[in-house]
């Protein structure tokens, strides 16, 4: 079985791994190995309520087309009131079941429009949970449309598949894969737009951790291109799963957020010289490919870039003023018993007026926590 990625880059690591697992398992049986998948694309909606309908995965089988919404969620309890989902008491917005059902109807309509009613199979939909949620309390209707990854992968067995889809199809969609390839890879669809808290990251990182533990990207707000952020994409597999477990990840991944909160409580003015988290994250959010986002002040430049582009143009007095400003900010941090422990040209941001902003605190020490030197490429 092949899964064709419409979006070639920028797909979250957890989603890529889910695609790979689905492709591998469905390729393992004679029953499902001829199926075809199309992943990571969107359909634009015009008119009132214009926007994009995002698709994680669509499977074309010998019987039906299945629209799949992947959820890499982690927590103790997932609940639903039929309209919204709540993970450990916090709202996760509209029920994904409602969303994936609407996407299935939209896709069925497009197939009829573009390929004709004769090539429109039954279009089903599922939400597939591939994270780690301990308990789910959903409505009776939602339970029919929500599967764990293990349950979903069991569709590769004919006897299980027939428990979900028992009706005789009007035709075999696999006999027309060339038409479906043209349809899904044609102009009707576009690559899925990946946003993090409303911000769109650039394709290339501006900094990569020496041990590949995380990469940092510039990002711009979808609704305001002049509003910028620093996006940090973690890859905890770089440390080895035997070295860092699920309970250990928040200790590293949430460090900068916790340092900011500590400084903001002790010295509000100094906190303005730290990058502010755009949204607060909890332990359960720190997955293997956890992403965090920090507001990036206007006009500041990373010291690595500043030294090449701006520093040569500064007078001796301006250089001295800048050095004093940097030392003063780190001195204020030390007054609060905060040690950065990874100071470098990647973690200091400045402008010509000697404004200083500090980032890169994953290895920092502050009074509540112990130091983790292993998170840093430097000591």
**Phi-psi sector, 17: left (phi>0), alpha (psi -120 to 50), beta:** alpha
Is the predicted pLDDT of residue 239 greater than 80, yes or no? no
Query: Considering only 153-157, 240-244, 301-305, which range has the smallest mean pLDDT?
Result: 240-244
Is the predicted pLDDT of residue 71 greater than 90, yes or no? yes
Q: What is the mean pLDDT of the chain?
A: 89
Is the predicted pLDDT of residue 134 greater than 50, yes or no? yes
Residue 270 has which token pair? 């100094």
Interval 178-196 mean pLDDT: 85
> Cβ of 334: how many Cβ atoms within 10 Å?
10
Yes or no: say if 26 and 35 are a contact pair by the CB < 8 Å rule.
yes
Interval 116-129 mean pLDDT: 95
For the chain, give every domain's residue range.
2-191, 199-375
Please state which of the four CATH numbers 3.30.56.10, 1.10.510.10, 2.40.10.10, 3.90.950.20 is assigned to the domain occupying 199-375. 1.10.510.10
Yes or no: say if 379 and 324 are a contact pair by the CB < 8 Å rule.
no
Residue 44 has which token pair? 């634009």
> Could you report the per-residue pLDDT of 24-55, keeping only the tens digit for each?
999 999 999 999 999 988 887 765 656 678 89
Q: Residue 207: helix, strand or coil by DSSP?
A: strand
> Could you report the per-residue pLDDT of 110-122, keeping only the tens digit for each?
999 999 999 999 9
Using the structure block, give the residue that is written with the tokens 């309908």.
Answer: 53
Using the structure block, give the residue that is written with the tokens 């004709």.
Answer: 116
Q: Percentage of the chain with pLDDT > 70?
A: 93
Residue 114 has which token pair? 């573009």
User: Which own/partner pairs from 305-310 qualify as long-range (CB within 8 Å, at least 24 positions apart)?
Assistant: 306/350, 307/345, 310/352
Higher pLDDT, 9 or 214: 214
Q: Percentage of the chain with pLDDT > 90?
A: 67
Query: Considering only 193-202, 223-232, 257-266, 356-365, which range has the smallest mean pLDDT?
Result: 193-202
Angle, CA 118 vertex, CA 113 and CA 122 arms, to 5°:
85
Interval 157-171 mean pLDDT: 93
Alpha helices, H only, 72-156: 96-115, 140-143, 149-153
What is 237-263 written as a DSSP string? GGG-TTTS-TTTHHHHHTHHHHHHHHH
* pLDDT at position 376: 45
> Could you report the per-residue pLDDT of 264-321, keeping only the tens digit for each?
999 999 999 999 999 999 888 888 788 999 999 988 999 999 999 899 999 999 999 9
Query: Considering only 137-151, 253-267, 344-358, which range has the smallest mean pLDDT?
Result: 344-358
* pLDDT at position 378: 44
Q: In whole angstroms, give the CA distance from residue 59 to residue 61.
A: 6
CA distances to 86, 107, 152, 256, 330 from 22, rounded to whole Å, are 27, 21, 9, 35, 49
């Amino acid at each position: 079985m092949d899964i064709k990625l419409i979006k070639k880059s920028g797909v979250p690591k957890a989603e890529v791994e889910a695609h790979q697992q689905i492709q591998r398992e469905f390729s393992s049986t004679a029953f499902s190995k001829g199926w075809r998948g199309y992943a990571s694309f969107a359909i634009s909606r015009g008119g009132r309520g214009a926007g994009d309908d995002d698709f994680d995965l669509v499977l074309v089988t010998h019987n039906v087309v299945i629209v799949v919404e992947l959820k890499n969620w982690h927590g103790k309890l997932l609940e639903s009131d039929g309209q919204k989902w709540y993970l450990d008491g916090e709202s996760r917005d509209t029920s994904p079941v409602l969303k994936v059902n609407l996407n299935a109807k939209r896709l069925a309509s497009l197939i009829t429009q573009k390929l004709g009613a004769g090539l429109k199979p039954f279009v089903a939909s599922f939400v597939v949970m591939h994270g780690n949620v301990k308990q789910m309390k959903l409505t009776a209707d939602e339970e029919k449309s929500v599967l764990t990854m293990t349950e979903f992968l069991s569709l590769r067995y004919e006897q299980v598949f027939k428990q979900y889809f028992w009706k005789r199809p009007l035709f075999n969609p696999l006999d027309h894969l060339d038409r479906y390839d043209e349809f899904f890879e044609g102009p009707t669809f576009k690559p899925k737009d990946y946003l993090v808290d409303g911000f769109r990251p650039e394709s290339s990182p501006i900094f990569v951790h020496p041990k590949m533990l995380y990469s940092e990207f510039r990002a711009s707000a979808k609704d305001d291109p002049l509003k910028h952020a620093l996006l940090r994409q973690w890859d905890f597999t770089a440390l080895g799963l035997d070295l860092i477990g699920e309970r250990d990840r928040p200790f590293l991944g949430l460090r900068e957020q916790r340092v900011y909160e500590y400084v903001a409580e002790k010295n509000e003015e100094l906190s303005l010289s730290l990058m502010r988290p755009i949204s607060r994250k909890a332990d359960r959010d720190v997955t293997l490919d956890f992403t965090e986002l920090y507001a990036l002040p206007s006009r500041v430049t990373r010291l690595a870039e500043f030294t090449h582009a701006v520093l040569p143009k500064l007078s001796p007095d301006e250089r001295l003023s800048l050095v004093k400003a940097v030392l003063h900010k780190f001195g204020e941090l030390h007054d609060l018993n905060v040690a950065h422990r990874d100071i470098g040209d990647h973690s200091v941001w400045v402008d010509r007026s000697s404004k200083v902003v500090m980032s890169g605190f994953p290895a920092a020490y502050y009074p509540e926590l112990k130091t983790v030197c292993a998170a840093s490429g430097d000591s």
